[in-house]
Amino acid sequence: MNDIAIDTILGPAALSEPVPAAWRASLASVRPGEGVEEIVLSLETVSGEALPPPRVALLLHAPVRGAVACWTPQHVHFEMPLPWTQARVGANAARDLPLYANVGADGAARLVLAVSECVRRVAIRGVVDEYRADEELEVAFFTEPEEPLSRYAARIRLDTRVRDFATALSEASRWLVSSVTRHSDAPPPPAATRPWYSTWYSYHQHVTAEAVLAEARAARKLGMRGLLLDAGWMKSRRGVPGGWMAEARFGDWIPDPAKFPDMRALSRAVRAEGLAFGLWFALPFVSRHAAAWRTWKDKLLWIRSGGASEWGILDPRFPEVRAHLAALCGRMMREWELDGLKLDFIDSFELRTSAPANAPGALTAPNLPQETTAEPPNHRTTQPSDGRDFVSVPQAVVALMAGVSAAIRAVKPDALVEFRQGYIGPAIRPFGNMMRASDCPSCIATNRLKTVDLRLTSGATPVHGDMLEWDPGATAEDAALQLLATLFAVPQISMRLAELPPRHRAMLRFWLRFWNAHRATLLDAPFRPLHPQAAYPVVAAAGATETITAVYQRGTVADAWQDGAATGYIVNATGAVGLTVRFASRPRSIELFDCTGRAVDCPVRIVRAGIADVSVPASGLLVARR
């Protein structure tokens, strides 16, 4: 253990390895309140000149204190991490958040660790130490090349208060935002908080302008107010083995003339139907088969190769790369009269030697392809060369996104910009205003987990669920579970609407009507996801006059009302008939509705306060007034 150490509220903490002779390091402590401590890690060069910073890591041990699970922004909930299943977070400006938390069997937070560094990469590792019966935590800085500097300071915040998990995590997220002072959340455009239609799961590469316009007309009637044309619009090499990414000519970004002969006309037509129109754009990609490859092949971070599929990730440390991508976004917005862009794969902008590919959840949460070749021959990861003006990739990404955002908003100040879960940190989040859960097609539980986690860490940015698809041959009740999983986020629908069975269409109409009518409560009222240790089986939002509660697991109890609300809406998302409801007083009335909005008789009379079993239809709704 290093001799640079400090006593903390968790016990002794120290730097885990020697600091190079050219540097001085120190640890200090600030305790802003009971149970909260900020450890200040400082570095400075002995000579006072700027030097490449060394890797430093703070090591401490935390008492388990009844914790049964840990939480990370990699969007998977774990048991306490064992030596062979260590929980790791690799956060930087374009990936995740420097946050780590433990939760007890009672659903209360036991420990929340947050790090003020939100741009450069921070590596957090947690593991139960079987020799000490506690948890070993390591926070490492400068694990990849960064800009030379002469002094540096970062804060590691430890919150050991036993309290509501959602409150503790949200507070830590706000603390992170306070560490990034250059930007602030802008009010979202109205369309960012209304249901959307996405073409991805419904059409994939087989989408056409005619299909988009037909879906826009149907979506408008069902209550949607935005349409995203996802991948499939650009020119490609059809029939190439290896899937759509092998076919795509990333980098040229030319609409397929056979499918989209006039993108501006389509944008105008969709808008005439009453929907905002957005377009998918994979910001970092350039394909070897694109004309653009000749221009950018020597300005790449890394190349992904797999048979006929090969493309590179542009290196944002080149100013000409940043200028090119900003100009491209501005041109698409202007020439095609778009309302916004879905900027995808921003978390691919990183040095692959540092990517947390083996971290738990890496296959489901981050968007990076997993197969890679070696770095391009002319690329050196230690110092900028060949015209790069940054050493640090994360800092270059922040500069890139500032330029892209400025170019987009110069065309349309209230443009819609969707980010995908993975790049969610406070240094980059202000450049987007729609934060969507990463892909989890048809996975109801995962979509719920991801949207709840994003709600807790995204501040005022509207959270969208992953696009919803379901089996048209399923019951309407089963199909509704997909929508109910993202009830407390903005829904995006990705089904061929004209092909839906009539009862599915009735279900979709009912629940989207409910969502739109209660949007203020679902998105803006105090948000209460319960029992994080059990993957949020009950989620509620309590406004001044109404409470909306969704129950996702049988056997759990839902409160009819909270905080003096006069009306309680309880959603049965358990997949079965019946809910157990706690009534604080005798209800004045109870109404039940099935998944299509049809009223059904309530066989139970509630004559006094207490707990009662009510036959709420599967994927249906209980409305209790007092």
- Name 579's Cβ contacts closer than 8 Å, sequence gap at least 6: 551, 558, 570, 572, 613, 614, 616, 622
Burial class (CB in 10 A: 0-12, 13-18, 19+), 180: buried
What share of the chain has pLDDT > 70, as a percent?
A: 91
Percent over 90 (pLDDT), the chain: 81
Residue ranges of domains in the chain, CATH in brackets: 5-178 (no CATH), 194-436 (3.20.20.70), 527-625 (no CATH)
Average pLDDT over residues 160-164: 97
Contacts of 535 (CB under 8 A, 6+ apart): 77, 445, 448, 449
Quick one: pLDDT at residue 311?
84
User: Does the pLDDT value for residue 241 go beyond 70?
Assistant: no
Average pLDDT, the chain: 90
pLDDT tens digit sequence for 345-377? 999 998 875 444 433 333 333 343 333 333 333
Do 220 and 271 touch, CB atoms closer than 8 A?
A: no
Res. 484: pLDDT tops 90: yes
Contacts of 38 (CB under 8 A, 6+ apart): 29, 30, 31, 32, 155, 156, 157, 158
CA dihedral 10, 14, 16, 20 (to 10 degrees): 160
pLDDT value, residue 374: 33
**pLDDT in the model for residue 82:** 84
For helices 476-485 and 444-457, the axis angle rounded to 10 degrees is 20
> Cβ(199)–Cβ(218) under 8 Å?
no
Residue 48, Cβ density class (10 Å: 0-12 exposed, 13-18 middle, ≥19 buried): exposed
Cα separation values, 443 from 132, 324, 437, 479, Å: 38, 37, 12, 12
Average pLDDT of span 273-284: 97
Identify the bridge partners of residue 139 per DSSP, sorted by sequence position: 58, 124
β-bridge pairing 567-572 and 546-551: parallel
| Sign of the torsion angle spanned by Cα atoms 535, 537, 538, 539 | positive
Could you tell me if residue 531 is left (phi over 0), alpha (psi between -120 and 50 degrees) or otherwise beta? left
The Cα–Cα gap between 605 and 609 comes to: 11
Q: What are 342's strand-pairing partners? A: 280, 418
Q: What is the pLDDT of residue 68?
A: 94
pLDDT at 411: 98
pLDDT band at 206 (very low <50, low <70, confident <90, very high): very high
Position with higher pLDDT, 544 vs 305: 544
**CB 422, CB 415: distance < 8 Å:** no
Q: Distance between CA atoms of 406 and 410, rounded to whole angstroms?
A: 6
Enumerate helices (H) and strands (E) in the chain, giving the number of each: 12, 35
Residue 602: pLDDT band with limits 50, 70, 90: confident
In tens, the pLDDT along 15-30 reads 998 999 999 999 999 9
Question: Which pLDDT score is estimated for 563?
Answer: 81
pLDDT in tens, 423-464: 999 999 999 999 999 999 999 999 999 999 999 999 999 999
pLDDT for 345 equals 94
pLDDT tens across 94-134, in order?
A: 999 999 999 999 999 999 999 999 999 999 999 999 888 89
Looking at residue 18, its pLDDT comes to: 92
In 293-392, alpha helices (H): 293-296, 319-335
Closest CA to 422 of 93, 44, 135, 115: 93
Nearest of 69, 278, 20, 467 to residue 2 by alpha carbon = 20
Of 608 and 248, the structure prediction assigns the larger pLDDT to: 608
